[in-house]
Amino acid sequence: MDTKARITGISVKVVRASPGDVVDNSMKLVQNGAVAGSDRQSGLGWPLAFTAVTYGSAADLWGLDFTPAEVNADGFGMALSAKGTGGGTVGRVDFIEVTVHYCR
């Protein structure tokens, strides 16, 4: 990414499923190695079949500011936690895709 680029938003696509009652507990970004920013958890139950859900958008910085160096560093990422709302539930994640939107 061009070092002069301006980060305009970050979106995170998660493909997840649960055979039981599982909901998002927290969905945040990781900046400089620390979980930070606004929580984008949906609070909705995870579906039985693997389904994609997108958190954030091309215009959502999650309450943070990012430089190109920060999003290219090892300390950048996302943190997802889920919780069971019934006994013996399991959540499954197939893949996670983070997209950094920017302009020059």
CA distance 41 to 12: 11
Query: So what's the pLDDT on residue 64?
Result: 97
Give the model confidence (pLDDT) of 47-79 as tens digits: 999 999 999 999 999 999 999 999 999 999 999
Do residues 76 and 12 make contact, with C-beta atoms less than 8 angstroms apart? no
Q: Pairing mode, if any, of strands 51-57 and 22-31? A: unpaired
Provide the total of helices (H) and of strands (E) in the chain, helices listed first.
1, 6
Give the model confidence (pLDDT) of 10-53 as tens digits: 999 999 999 888 999 999 999 999 999 999 999 889 999 999 99
Does the pTM exceed 0.75? yes
Domain-wise residue ranges, the chain: 6-103
Do residues 15 and 95 make contact, with C-beta atoms less than 8 angstroms apart? yes
